[in-house]
Structure 1
Amino acid sequence: METVKLNEKTICSGQSMRRPSAVALGFFDGVHIGHQKILQTAKQIAEKQGLAFAVMTFDPHPSKVVKPDRAIEQFITPLHEKLAIFSRCGVDVVYVVDFTQAFAVLSPREFIQNYVCGVGCKHVVAGFDFAYGFRGQGTMDTIVAHGDGVFDATKVEKIDCQGEKIGSTAIRQRLENGKVEEIPSFLGKAFEVKAFVDRSVSSRETVYVSVEKDYKLPKPGVYQIKVEQQALRIEGICEWQGEDFNGERRLDVYLKEPMSSVLEGDINIQWVRKRQDQKFGKLRAM
């Protein structure tokens, strides 16, 4: 999969690639069930029409520019993880648009002409609530007109879970409330984060892992988890107390199997459910 960064300079200088493609548009935080429908639709159209399968996303989150006092800076899936998911979905090229102040004030037509048409798009796929251009004035009902008919468009309708819209906001709310057991209904799988094991500070009973700041973590507490490392799959429990004074994000993890089975390095943590335990000292009562 190819990753191409787009900004005012690359667009104006013609450095962006014009590759006939079906383009899935969106921020895609979480790549949840609704996002997956968008990606599947774009892939099917690309295969049917002999086009490249492309994604156009944005970095940083638009709120950092248009609502800096309420900026979203922690994610269900940070950019590097989204790119890995896109690759597994069979995406040919990902366009990462640099969301700057100059980009935020582009008119809807300027965005479509310079960026979407600029990469050779022949078919756009996005969710029913996708908005673009200055103050989100462009919608899926105007997107074909702003492209002067150069491409077709498919609007993916809302997907609900028990009457609630499946979206990144719903997943974030569940993380904030510690209701991780409800997330698979929205995400299509358990909420998970990439973490790093530091064996130098781990004990015989506990593995200490650090999580990068880009991930949005659940409400502090004690959680049932599953840990994956290479071919290793272990159930366990972790305590998450929140960031320390240095801004470090460390989890204390107690696993069912010997600590020696976990190597120093990257692991994947799946959050299963929040426990009633209030202190890590109770964790052995599994």
Structure 2
Amino acid sequence: MQVIRIHHPLNKQLIADQPVVLAMGFFDGVHLGHQLVIKTAKKIADQRGLPLAVLTYNHSPAVVYHRLPGGAKYLTTINQKAELMSRLGVSVMYVVDFTSQYGAQSPQQFVDNYLMAFHPEVAVAGEDHTFGRGVAATMSNLPSLANERFQVVAVPTMENGLSKIGTSRIRRQIMAGELDLATQGLGRPYQTTGLVVHGFARGRQIGFPTINIDSPSSTVIPALGVYVTRVKVGHHWYGGMANIGHNETFGDGAPRTVEINLFDFHQLVYGEEVVVEWYSRLRDGVKFASVEELVTQMRVDQQAAKAYLASHPRKMANTTWC
């Protein structure tokens, strides 16, 4: 799959001169609702014998339109999003830099200057998708803006129970430590990426060596607590238990860290980029009265994590599990 970056004003030479089915959206998380949009577009593309293209953005439009206290937080990086799109059968992913000038276009200008440049026979998006500022930039208005130059397909919102499956909801679940609920909406366990960095080596000193993960500041990190995880180091996955906390037992005022004790793992991997797959939350973070009490609890946590992983074998990679 090709990934093509686009900056306003559009350089049309970057776009292949061929008709496509075009799926539109920010698609942060590529959750089950997003997957329905992509799969709908893929089905149409296959029926018409056309490639499937995706139009997405480098960051949330909210960065341009609103102040975001604490900065924008995302469920997927561009690379993660591209990997998931590829597995869903996307041929090319156009990543537009969402800037003030790009966002200042009227809905009609967006259709005339951008959508038409991608040569869509069909444009597909979720029914609640918007493509600019103002009441006219909605899927219900897109057919009139298209003026019969391409077909428009609005995909109904997917629900889990009585609630919409949406990025904001999944983000809140992860930040609350509700990983089981987030997995249901994503259709796969939540993943983060990060760099293995040096810590204080306290885990090694008490018999539970850990790798310390430094993730991008824009990544959504689960709530403080202890979790069951799997970590991809190189080409291999290893089970483990993660602690997100401030090392309270060793004193107050420490920064938040993500430390993972990997099972049956004895390598030095500083500087490695790893993928963390987050499963169930075992417990809240606790300040123990002594190191001995901490070690006793970690033994209990380790057994619980191993039992969870044994009863939840990792699925092979497919369109809903990366």
Q: Same fold (TM over 0.5)?
A: yes
Matches within 5 A, 1:117-128: 117-128=116-127
Structure 2 CA distance for partners of 1:161 and 1:109, relative to 1, 3 Å: same
Match of 1:9, SS state, is coil
Q: Is the 8 A contact 1:213 1:249 kept in 2?
A: no
- CA-to-aligned-CA distance 1:28-79 (integer Å, 9 cap, x gap): 0000000001111111111111212100001221011000245852210022
Runs of 5+ in structure 1 lacking a partner? 243-247
How many pairs does the alignment contain?
Answer: 279
The residue number in structure 1 matching 2:101 is 102
* Cα deviation, residue 241, structure 1: 2.3
Quote the offset at 1:259 in angstroms.
Answer: 3.0
Q: Is the 8 A contact 1:277 1:283 kept in 2?
A: no
Distance in 1 (CA, whole Å) between partners of 2:70 and 2:285 is 31
After TM superposition, the structure 1 = structure 2 runs for residues 1-286 of structure 1, keeping only pairs within 5 Å, are 1-11=1-11, 14-17=12-15, 18-70=17-69, 73-135=72-134, 137-198=136-197, 203=204, 205-241=209-245, 250-260=257-267, 263-264=269-270, 265-279=272-286, 281=294, 282-286=297-301
Report how far residue 158 of structure 1 moved: 1.2
- Alpha-carbon deviation of 1:199? 6.8
Equivalent position of 1:245 in the other structure: none
Hey, what's the Cα distance between the residues in 1 that align with 2:298 and 2:214? 19
SS in 1 for 2:134: helix
Deviation at 1:228, TM superposition (A): 2.5
Q: Distance in 2 between matches of 1:72 and 1:207?
A: 26
Instruction: Give the drift of 1:16.
Output: 4.1
Residue 238 of structure 2 contacts residue 265 of structure 2 at CA under 8 Å; is this kept in 1? no
Shift of 1:197: 2.5
Write the deviation string for residues 188-228 of structure 1: whole angstroms up to 9, x where unpaired.
Answer: 01111122234797647222222222311111222121223
Partners of 1:214 and 1:200 in 2: how far apart?
21
Instruction: Judge conservation of contact 1:131–1:138 (CA < 8 Å) in 2.
Output: yes
How far, CA to CA, are the matches of 1:183 and 1:175 in structure 2?
A: 6
Q: Which residue identity does 1:22 align to in structure 2?
A: V
Residues 205-214 or 67-76, more deviating: 67-76
In structure 2, distance between residues paired with 1:213 and 1:80: 16
Asked if the contact 1:52–1:92 (Cα under 8 Å) also holds between the matched residues in 2, the reply is yes
Identity of aligned residues (%): 27
Other-structure match for 2:308: none
Instruction: Label 1:220 to 1:97 Cα distance change in 2 as closer, same or farther (>3 A).
Output: same
* Matches of 2:256 and 2:5, distance apart in 1: 30
Cα separation, 1, equivalents of 2:131 and 2:164: 20
**1:227-257: CA deviations, max 9, x gaps?**
2334533322111127xxxxx8741111232
Tell me if structure 1 keeps the 8 A contact 2:71–2:218: no
Q: Using a 3 Å threshold, how does the CA distance of structure 1 residues 255 and 152 change in structure 2: closer, same or farther? A: same
Shift of 1:179: 0.6
User: Structure 1: how far apart are the matches of 2:199 and 2:75?
Assistant: 29
C-alpha spacing 1:92/1:48, structure 2 compared with 1 (3 Å): same
- Provide the rounded CA distance (Å) in 2 between the counterparts of 1:5 and 1:277: 41
Distance in 2 between residues matched to 1:116 and 1:78, nearest whole Å? 24
Note if contact 2:10-2:114 (Cα within 8 Å) is conserved in structure 1: no
CA distance in 2, matches of 1:107, 1:226: 46
> Is the Cα–Cα contact under 8 Å of residues 199 and 212 in structure 2 kept in the other structure?
no
Name the SS of the counterpart of 1:283 in structure 2.
helix
Which runs of 5 or more structure 2 residues have no equivalent in the other structure?
247-254, 288-293, 302-322
SS at 1:284's partner residue? Answer: helix
Bigger drift between 160-169 and 1-10 goes to: 1-10
CA distance in 2, matches of 1:122, 1:48: 12
| Residues 31 and 82, structure 1, Cα contact 8 Å, conserved in 2 | yes
